[in-house]
Amino acid sequence: VLIIGAGIAGISAALWCKRLGLHPVIIECTNQMGGQLHQIKNKIWDFPPHVYRNGQELYHGLRENIEVKQLDIRFEESLLSIDIDKHLAKTTKSVYAADYLMMATGVRHNSLSVMDTSTIVLDPWFSTTSEAEILKDKQVLVIGGGDRALESVFNLSAYAKHIWLAARSKRLRGRSEWVERIKHRPNVTIFMETVLLNTVETAEQTGAVLCNHASKESFFLPVDWILPRIGVRGNSDAALFLSHDGEGFLIADEYQRTSADWIYAIGDLTNGSAYASIALAAGQAMKAAKHISLRIKERNTYV
Ligand SMILES: Cc1cc2nc3c(=O)[nH]c(=O)nc-3n(C[C@H](O)[C@H](O)[C@H](O)COP(=O)(O)OP(=O)(O)OC[C@H]3O[C@@H](n4cnc5c(N)ncnc54)[C@H](O)[C@@H]3O)c2cc1C
């Protein structure tokens, strides 16, 4: 079983494959396992029995686990393409013939081209719980209208001098609890139907050029920082021939099988942000590994 991605989904899948007598090999494009665990700055209390101070602590526990240490993980190797008929996976270092493939490649942030070269755009992984202090007394523009954007506005409102939220749509997508909370913050202003056109970064001033869809008017907003919260998409570039939802999230059946019979999808890559969690990723890993082992058993019975 070739597993692509060494986040919590890929590692859990490999452990279950091993337990069920399968032969798992993981390839991971970075030089370390853990994936998004490295970005979690909050306490993790929903993956019992331990309460981890943050993702790093869970990552260290994983890395030191004796079973995980024995896994065959090939770092700095990236999936490039899949030959669906020949059961081949081409990577940056090799070509693998696999009976089964598990895609566990997680997600990446959406980006806007205007953000690529800007020095006032914060990293999309910026944590508004552990790093908010940096924005104390600053003027901040948050881009987005979902839960993460609203939560970020709420968290930052305790630190920043003023926060503007620019949302593209007519209505905020985030949960009403968040909308209610930020509505009552005196230092928060919301712009609806508004998009970021450009940034201005001169010695005299920094800020954002925004445009209102409805009025077609553009205007300059002086801000110190811009925080993008415009969602994530599935890392499925090498597998877009499989059924997906248009945002890179692979569609899987109840056993985590994709539209190709021998390819499975587990973890955030198939869950979307609403259901992204360590527990679900680990659970899906188990289900996919078990399904593969039962299929092999069934096949061997009939041979
Ligand atoms: C800030 C933050 C806080 C969170 N807090 C919690 C929490 O408290 N509780 C909770 O349950 N969940 C939490 N989550 C969600 C949780 O971290 C994720 O649901 C989970 O880690 C997803 O694991 P995954 O293995 O599916 O994907 P990922 O962790 O994204 O792993 C995917 C791996 O695949 C690799 N990869 C990608 N493309 C390729 C390729 N082409 N070839 C080879 N390798 C590739 C990546 O490098 C990565 O290592 C949080 C997430 C964030 C960002």
What confidence score (pLDDT) does residue 55 get?
97
Ligand 1 centroid distance, CA of 35 (Å): 5
CB 118 within 8 A of CB 18: no
What confidence score (pLDDT) does residue 253 get?
98
Ligand 1, residues 36, 71, 271: which to mutate, most atoms within 8 A of Cβ? 36
Ligand 1 centroid distance, CA of 55 (Å): 10
State which ligand 1 atom lies nearest to the alpha carbon of 266. Answer: 26
Ligand 1 centroid distance, CA of 170 (Å): 31
Virtual CA dihedral for 115, 228, 188, 204, nearest 10 degrees? -20
What confidence score (pLDDT) does residue 303 get?
64
Q: Which residues of 42-68 are buried (b: 16+ CB within 10 A; e: fewer)?
A: eebeeeeeeebebbebbbeebeeeeeb
What global pTM score does this model have?
0.92
Ligand 1 centroid distance, CA of 3 (Å): 14
Burial class (CB in 10 A: 0-12, 13-18, 19+), 205: exposed
State which ligand 1 atom lies nearest to the alpha carbon of 30. Answer: 47
What confidence score (pLDDT) does residue 113 get?
83
- What does each C-alpha distance from 254 to 107, 148, 179, 264 come to in angstroms? 21, 28, 34, 11
What confidence score (pLDDT) does residue 86 get?
97
DSSP assignment of the chain, as one string?
-EEE--SHHHHHHHHHHHHTT---EEEESSSSS-GGGGG--S-B-SSSS--BSSHHHHHHHHHH-HHHHTS-EEES--EEEEETTTTEEEESS-EEE-S-EEE---EEE---GGGSS-SSBPPTT--TTTSGGGGTT-EEEEE--SHHHHHHHHHHTTT-SEEEEE-SSSS--S-HHHHHHHHT-TTEEEESSEEEEEEEE-SS-EEEEEEETTT--EEEEE-SEEEE---EEE--GGGTTS-B-SSSPBP--TTSB-SSTTEEE-THHHHTGGG--HHHHHHHHHHHHHHHHHHHHHHHHH-
CB 141 within 8 A of CB 224: no
Ligand 1 centroid distance, CA of 37 (Å): 6
Ligand 1 centroid distance, CA of 117 (Å): 26
State which ligand 1 atom lies nearest to the alpha carbon of 108. Answer: 30
Ligand 1 centroid distance, CA of 254 (Å): 21
What confidence score (pLDDT) does residue 300 get?
86
List, run by run, the mean pLDDT of 10-residue segments along the chain (303 residues).
98 98 98 97 94 97 97 98 97 98 96 86 92 96 94 96 96 90 94 95 95 94 96 95 96 98 98 92 98 94 73
- Ligand 1 cavity residues, CB under 6 Å: 4-10, 27-30, 35-37, 39-40, 42, 44, 46-47, 78-79, 104-107, 235, 238, 267-269, 276-279, 281
